[in-house]
């Protein structure tokens, strides 16, 4: 059965396709930005022990090496997406890359914790303005089959980038220094800044007025929501700061919805969510990262603390998942025209769910070959099948003036999903650890391994719930269009 077109007609009357001989360079520039942003979500994690020892971080402040970036990135994504629509996507894209590159350079020279945290927050600001334009620029620089291929590579990079970040982080930290995980962004960023004006076509601008009220409400509301999840993972769901952050987020985001329904040029057009398939895809873009980021977080602990892997070994241990994600994302463009988006989403959802359910069986005696590789392969294959159809459904029939907002909302869903998932699953993890009873007669190391494994298995149960919810949405909420009626004989 032939699949329907999921990307719609070319976007933007003034967005001419890049010259054929330059399309590869245009795609490279766009993907380099996406890879930098994705890598930064994981590459720093491997370096955290070295950062703590060198800059004398407290355990609480060390977590903010990741959280400062997450908070700024998640809070400003919607604003970054709309800014590109109004001021010009390539202009905002390059400005965001410039900020990200400078922040990476400053962070690499940090001599104390305050300096590094400020640089990480500034990285998040730059990423929030650069990242939403990647999909929008890809959508307007490529057409037809070239766009489908470009989206498949984008999906592969987005999916496998996090695992490659762990590998790169391990190698750079072990061979050079933790500072290298920040300095590596500088030459990449400079390359993007030089090449983007030459090879990435500037889509037609859609000048308009900034929705100031919507911008403030969305930024503060998203920031409060992300901070609430971060606080919950550290201090629990009953903490006063956690509850206050969530209360503020509810009020601010409710105000945002009211403002958007009345604004002449809203920062996030709510009509984007009225399309059934698009709304379903956005929801799955929330649920899949909720499972994925937790998988990285907990398996990293298992590999390092139970199996006693070093940073480099831990990074390479994720290679099976990275390779299968990349391979399936590259295969998806060939499968999509034959089967359509829904069968790929359902198949991917089944495989992701199977991988996470398998992980619920992990224990202190589990080996890498018996308990880790299998879930990784299933998850990598399933997520690799899922991301391209989701990206294409979300971008389907989006008007040119809304392309940046649609991309920004997609990135926001991924960021919130990752933060939400980690907060919920860390809570399950800690609860299970407190309730775990080591076997009688076990040594101190054996007891610690047992408690950690019990926590990971419980967190995997929560991850399985996210995966099942995504699978049910793909099964029952995503609608396949009816085939065209056959002409009368």
> Matching CATH topology for 19-202 and 273-478?
yes
> In the chain, where are the structural domains located?
19-202, 211-266, 273-478
In this prediction, residue 8 carries a pLDDT of 36
In this prediction, residue 60 carries a pLDDT of 57
In this prediction, residue 350 carries a pLDDT of 95
* CATH superfamily assigned to domain 19-202: MFS general substrate transporter like domains (1.20.1250.20)
For domain 273-478, give the CATH number: 1.20.1250.20
Q: How much is the pTM?
A: 0.76
Long-range contacts of 63-69 (CB under 8 A, 24+ apart): 63/230, 63/234, 64/117, 64/120, 65/116, 65/117, 65/120, 66/120, 67/230, 68/117, 68/118, 68/120, 68/121, 68/124, 69/40, 69/41, 69/44, 69/120, 69/121, 69/123, 69/124, 69/127
Q: Distance between CA 119 and CA 124 in Å, rounded? A: 9
In this prediction, residue 471 carries a pLDDT of 93
In this prediction, residue 98 carries a pLDDT of 94
The dihedral built from the CA positions of residue 257, 259, 260 and 262, taken in this order, carries a sign that is: positive
Per-residue pLDDT tens, the chain, 489 aa: give them: 333 333 333 333 344 444 444 777 888 888 888 888 777 767 777 777 788 778 877 655 666 777 778 778 877 777 787 777 778 788 888 999 999 999 999 999 988 888 998 999 899 889 888 887 777 787 777 777 777 777 777 777 776 676 677 777 778 877 888 888 889 899 999 998 998 888 777 766 656 666 778 778 877 887 788 778 777 766 777 888 889 988 998 999 899 888 878 877 777 777 778 778 888 888 998 898 888 776 777 888 888 888 888 878 887 888 888 888 888 877 888 888 888 888 999 999 999 999 999 999 988 888 999 889 999 999 989 988 888 888 778 877 777 666 667 777 777 788 778 777 777 887 788 778 777 778 777 787 888 888 888 888 888 899 999 999 999 999 898 886 654 444 444
Which among 481, 12, 482, 470 has a CA at the least distance from the CA of 275? 481
């Amino acid at each position: 059965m032939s699949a329907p077109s999921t990307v719609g007609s070319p976007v933007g009357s003034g967005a001419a396709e890049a010259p054929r001989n330059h399309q590869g360079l245009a795609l490279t520039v766009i993907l380099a930005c996406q890879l930098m942003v994705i890598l930064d979500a994981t590459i720093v994690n491997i370096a955290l022990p070295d950062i703590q020892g060198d800059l004398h971080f407290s355990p609480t402040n060390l977590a903010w090496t990741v959280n400062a970036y997450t908070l700024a990135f998640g809070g400003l994504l919607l604003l970054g997406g709309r800014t590109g629509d109004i001021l010009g996507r390539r202009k905002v894209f390059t400005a965001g890359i410039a900020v990200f590159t400078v922040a990476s350079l400053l962070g690499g020279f940090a001599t104390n914790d305050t300096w590094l945290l400020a640089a990480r927050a500034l990285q998040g600001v730059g990423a929030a303005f650069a990242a939403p334009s990647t999909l929008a620029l890809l959508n307007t620089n490529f057409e037809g089959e070239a766009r489908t291929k470009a989206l498949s590579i984008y999906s592969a990079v987005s999916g496998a980038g996090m695992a490659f970040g762990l590998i790169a982080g391990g190698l750079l930290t072990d061979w050079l220094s933790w500072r290298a995980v920040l300095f590596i962004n500088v030459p990449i960023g400079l390359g993007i800044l030089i090449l983007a004006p030459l090879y990435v076509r500037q889509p037609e601008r859609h000048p308009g007025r900034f929705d100031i009220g919507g911008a403030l409400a969305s930024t503060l509301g998203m920031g409060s929501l992300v901070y609430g999840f971060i606080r919950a993972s550290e201090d629990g769901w009953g903490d006063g700061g956690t509850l206050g952050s969530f209360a503020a987020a509810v009020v601010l985001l409710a105000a945002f919805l009211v403002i958007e329904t009345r604004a002449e040029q809203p920062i996030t057009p709510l009509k984007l969510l009225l399309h059934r398939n698009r709304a379903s895809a956005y929801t799955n873009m929330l649920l899949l990262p909720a499972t994925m980021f937790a998988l990285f977080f907990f398996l990293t602990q298992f590999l390092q603390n139970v199996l006693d892997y070093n940073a480099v070994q831990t990074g390479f241990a994720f290679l099976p998942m990275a390779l299968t994600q990349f391979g399936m994302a590259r295969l998806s463009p060939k499968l999509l025209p034959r089967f359509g988006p829904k069968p790929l989403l359902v198949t991917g959802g089944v495989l992701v769910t199977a991988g996470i359910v398998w992980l619920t069986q992990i224990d202190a005696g589990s080996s890498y070959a018996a308990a880790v590789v299998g879930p990784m392969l299933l998850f990598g294959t399933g997520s690799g099948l899922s991301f391209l159809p989701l990206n294409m459904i979300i971008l389907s029939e989006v008007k040119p003036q809304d392309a940046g907002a649609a991309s920004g909302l997609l990135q926001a869903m991924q960021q919130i999903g990752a933060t939400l998932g980690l907060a919920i699953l860390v809570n399950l993890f800690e609860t299970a650890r407190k309730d775990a009873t080591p076997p009688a007669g076990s040594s101190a190391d054996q007891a610690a391994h047992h408690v950690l494994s019990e926590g990971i298995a419980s967190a995997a149960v929560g991850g399985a719930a996210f995966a099942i919810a995504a699978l049910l949405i793909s099964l029952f909420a995503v609608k396949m269009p009816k085939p065209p009626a056959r002409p009368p004989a």
